[in-house]
C-alpha cells in the first residue's frame, strides 16, 4: 500500500541559490518595512489588545512575504525555509525594537512633524542602534524600569510583567510567521519537475461520504477504484461527510489528494470539526470524468 504524505515526499528537496536569495530578500524587506509600520501604528493607537492583534499581523505578514518568495523562487527545502522564517521573524522583532527605542529616546519624540535634518538624525540613530545590540538592550532595560504603557486605568506596566508581555510579543510574531509559511503556505504543495511548477489545487469543492475505514479507503485508491471519490455536493449539509482536495499538474501521471473528515452535528460553523484522513496521497491514472 502506498504511503500518504506523512511517509512520502512528492517532490525532491531542492533549493537553488536564486530561490534562497529571493525568499530571504523578500523576508528581510518585509521584516524591516512591517516592523516599522507596526511600531508607528501602535504609537498612534497605544492599546495592549490592539498591539497583540498587530503583532499577529506582523508575523503573518513576514510569513506571507516568505511564502511568496517560496512560490516564485521554487524553494522546496523545509529546513532552509524554516531557517529563513526564523531569521526573518527574529529580524522583524529586532527591527521593531530598534525603531521603538530610536523614537523613545529621540529629542522630537514620536511625531510626523519632522524636517530633513530631523529625519537624517532619526535614520542615523536607527542604524547606530541596529549595529549596536548591546546598547539597544541597555536602553530597553531602562525603558522596562519605567514602563512604556499602562493597561486601561491601571498604573504603568514595568518590570517582570513587562518582560513577560514582551516575551509574549516575541512568541506571537514567531508563531504568526511559522503559521503563514508552514500551515497556510506553499512549502507542502507537490512540485512537478516535468513542468517546473507547483501542482495546482482545484478550486472546486469536492465532497464524498464520511471515511469510517481508512484502510479500506486506501485499498480502493491503490486498486484504482476511484468510484469512492465520486463528487456528491449534497453531502455537505449532512452531519458527517468527507472533503477531497485535488492537486494536479498538466501531463503528470500522478495527482495528489488531501482528504479530511468533517463532523458538524449542529450545522453551525463554530461546531465544525475537521480530521485528516490522508494528506497528499499519490494516485496514478486518475480518471477525472469518473468522479464528477
Would you kindly state where each structural domain of the chain is located, as residue ranges? 17-183, 197-291
* Contact between 75 and 81 (Cβ < 8 Å): yes
* Contact between 90 and 47 (Cβ < 8 Å): no
Instruction: List Cβ neighbours of 249 (8 Å cut-off, separation of 6 or more).
Output: 190, 192, 194, 195, 197, 198, 199, 200
**In degrees rounded to 5, what are phi and psi of residue 212?**
-85, -30
DSSP 62-110: HHHHHHHHHHHHT---HHHHHHHHHHHHHHHHHHHHHHHHHHHT-TT-S
Report the distance separating Cα 148 and Cα 281, nearest Å: 51
* Contact between 136 and 102 (Cβ < 8 Å): no
* Contact between 227 and 290 (Cβ < 8 Å): yes
Report the distance separating Cα 144 and Cα 147, nearest Å: 5
For residue 109 the three cell numbers come to 519624540
Report the distance separating Cα 86 and Cα 182, nearest Å: 12
Q: What is the pTM of this model?
A: 0.83
Q: Where are the alpha helices (DSSP H) in 179-282?
A: 214-222
* Residue 10: predicted pLDDT: 46
* Contact between 88 and 27 (Cβ < 8 Å): yes
**In degrees rounded to 5, what are phi and psi of residue 245?**
-115, 125
Identify the H or E element spanning 208. Answer: strand 207-208
* Residue 88: predicted pLDDT: 98
Report the distance separating Cα 143 and Cα 166, nearest Å: 12
**In degrees rounded to 5, what are phi and psi of residue 75?**
-90, 125
Report the distance separating Cα 26 and Cα 198, nearest Å: 19
List the pLDDT tens digit at each of the 292 positions of the chain.
555 544 444 445 577 899 999 999 999 999 999 999 999 999 888 888 899 999 999 999 999 999 999 999 999 999 999 999 999 999 999 999 999 999 888 776 666 677 788 788 889 999 999 999 999 999 888 888 776 665 555 567 767 888 898 999 999 999 999 999 999 889 989 998 889 899 999 888 899 999 999 999 999 999 989 899 999 999 988 999 999 999 999 988 899 999 999 998 887 878 889 999 999 999 887 766 556 6
For residue 123 the three cell numbers come to 535614520
DSSP 234-264: GGGGSSEEEEEEEEE-TT-SEEEEEEEEEE-
Closest residue by Cα to residue 83 from 75, 95, 71, 73: 75
* Residue 182: predicted pLDDT: 94
Report the distance separating Cα 31 and Cα 59, nearest Å: 9
Report the distance separating Cα 28 and Cα 111, nearest Å: 26
For residue 147 the three cell numbers come to 514602563
**In degrees rounded to 5, what are phi and psi of residue 51?**
-60, -40
Report the distance separating Cα 35 and Cα 94, nearest Å: 9
For residue 231 the three cell numbers come to 463528487
Amino acid at each position: 500500500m502506498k504511503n500518504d504524505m506523512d511517509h512520502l515526499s512528492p517532490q525532491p528537496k531542492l533549493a537553488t541559490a536564486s530561490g534562497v536569495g529571493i525568499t530571504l530578500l523578500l523576508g528581510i524587506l518585509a521584516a524591516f518595512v512591517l516592523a516599522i509600520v507596526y511600531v508607528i501604528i501602535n504609537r498612534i493607537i497605544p492599546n495592549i489588545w490592539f498591539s497583540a492583534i498587530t503583532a499577529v499581523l506582523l508575523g503573518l505578514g513576514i510569513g506571507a512575504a516568505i511564502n511568496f518568495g517560496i512560490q516564485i523562487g521554487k524553494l522546496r527545502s523545509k529546513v532552509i525555509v524554516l531557517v529563513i522564517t526564523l531569521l526573518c521573524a527574529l529580524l522583524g522583532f529586532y527591527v521593531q525594537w530598534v525603531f521603538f527605542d530610536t523614537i523613545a529616546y529621540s529629542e522630537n519624540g514620536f511625531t510626523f512633524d519632522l524636517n530633513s535634518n530631523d529625519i537624517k538624525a532619526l535614520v542615523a540613530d536607527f542604524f547606530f542602534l541596529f549595529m549596536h545590540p548591546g546598547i539597544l538592550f541597555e536602553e530597553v532595560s531602562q525603558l522596562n524600569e519605567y514602563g512604556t504603557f499602562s493597561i486601561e486605568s491601571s498604573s504603568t506596566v514595568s518590570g517582570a510583567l513587562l518582560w513577560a508581555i514582551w516575551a509574549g510579543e516575541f512568541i506571537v510574531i514567531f508563531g504568526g510567521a511559522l503559521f503563514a509559511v508552514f500551515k497556510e503556505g506553499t512549502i507542502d504543495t507537490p512540485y512537478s519537475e516535468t513542468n517546473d511548477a507547483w501542482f495546482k489545487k482545484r478550486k472546486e469543492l469536492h465532497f464524498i461520504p464520511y471515511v469510517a475505514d481508512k484502510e479500506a479507503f486506501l485499498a480502493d485508491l491503490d486498486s484504482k477504484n476511484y468510484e469512492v471519490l465520486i463528487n456528491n455536493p449534497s453531502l455537505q449539509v449532512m452531519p458527517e461527510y468527507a472533503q477531497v482536495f485535488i492537486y494536479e499538474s498538466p501531463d503528470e501521471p500522478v495527482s495528489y489528494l488531501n482528504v479530511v473528515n468533517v463532523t458538524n452535528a449542529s450545522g453551525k460553523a463554530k461546531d465544525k470539526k475537521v480530521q485528516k484522513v490522508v494528506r497528499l496521497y499519490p494516485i496514478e491514472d486518475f480518471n477525472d470524468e469518473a468522479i464528477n
